[in-house]
Homo-oligomer: A and B are copies of this chain.
Amino acid sequence: MNVHNKVRVGFVGLGIMGRSMAGHILNAGYPLNVYNRSRAKADELVARGAVWCGTPGDVAAASDIVITMVGFPHDVEEIYFGDKGIVARATPGAILIDMTTSSPMLAQRIEAEAAKKGCGALDAPVSGGEMGASDAKLAIMVGGEQAAFDAALPILQKMGTNIVLQGGPGAGQHTKMCNQIVIASTIMGVCEGLAYGRRVGLDLDTVLQSIGGGAASGFQLNVLGARIIKGDFAPGFFIEHFIKDLGIALAEAARMQLDLPALALAEKLYQRLAEQGYGRNGTQALFKYYEK
């Protein structure tokens, strides 16, 4: 029926991102095994032909390529190394791909444990958000061995357009950390610049006409800044997930004795917003810190 019918794909973690990503793989004709903590989120994929599995381990036992997209590093740890986890049940030759933004050291541990089972592993976090996931235009930053990357590439290409092998195990996560570190301070700058403009009585739409095309321009100012001006704080990316990412980056930096004061400041401000109940707002809601 299709050319892919020998490569069985498993997908664990069917949140907003994961559901879209898994859907593209199903659309491409791959047999798809799925698991999610709450089963209801799998219903639509199962109705379209995906096979429900009772545990992450069951997904692994039935799949040649296992993709995971969950929330926090402790979730990753559980689905890979827990009682009913992936590593214990993975079949020799399988490739395990964690696309969660997670700890680089955990990625290295997964790769090492997978190797003992004769499996390959890649860390492959993404950027591009819900829209990137639904349009199959994610940027995918990959760490791992070249052979595993080559084998996984046709599947990754169903979900993203900018797919780059950054180095060995953990390099994908480290690259994602670079991305989040740049963003953390950039959004602080956007919020501070717009807070200044509003306080001094400027019309912020008019300000954006002047500053949106020059040295301050970029996604954070031109897209998220425009939302701030409209008072739109709906999540493209949740503050609570961003705090997770910044925590991972700070821990890695501390381990390397690299002082990143602006990152530390951003994490502190976002923590305060989370304490005030803004964790499920988009990252641009940092603007509220300056409006108090």
Which A residues have a C-beta under 8 Å from some C-beta of B?
104, 127-129, 132, 139, 141, 162, 164, 166-167, 171, 174-175, 177-186, 188-190, 192-197, 199-203, 206-207, 209-211, 213-221, 237, 249, 252-253, 256, 258-263, 265-266, 269, 290
Complex contacts, A200 vs chain B, CB 8 Å: 104, 174, 252, 256
**Given A181-B192, A210-B166, A197–B219 Cβ distance below 8 Å?**
no
Are B182's CB and A193's CB within 8 A?
Answer: yes
Q: How far is the CB of A180 from chain B (nearest CB, A)?
A: 8
Complex contacts, A219 vs chain B, CB 8 Å: 214-218
A-B contact pairs, 9 of them (CB 8 A): A127-B215, A141-B211, A166-B203, A178-B202, A179-B214, A182-B189, A182-B193, A183-B216, A185-B190
**Given A189-B184, A192-B185, A214-B179, A166–B207 Cβ distance below 8 Å?**
yes
- Could you tell me the distance between the alpha carbons of A261 and B289 in the complex, rounded to whole angstroms? 11
Are A181's CB and B207's CB within 8 A?
Answer: no
Complex contacts, A261 vs chain B, CB 8 Å: 265, 269
- Could you tell me the distance between the alpha carbons of A269 and B264 in the complex, rounded to whole angstroms? 14
- Could you tell me the distance between the alpha carbons of A77 and B221 in the complex, rounded to whole angstroms? 33
Complex contacts, A139 vs chain B, CB 8 Å: 210-211, 213-214
Q: Top 8 nearest A-B pairs by Cβ distance? A: A218-B218, A185-B189, A182-B193, A181-B193, A182-B216, A188-B262, A179-B211, A178-B193
Are A258's CB and B216's CB within 8 A?
Answer: no
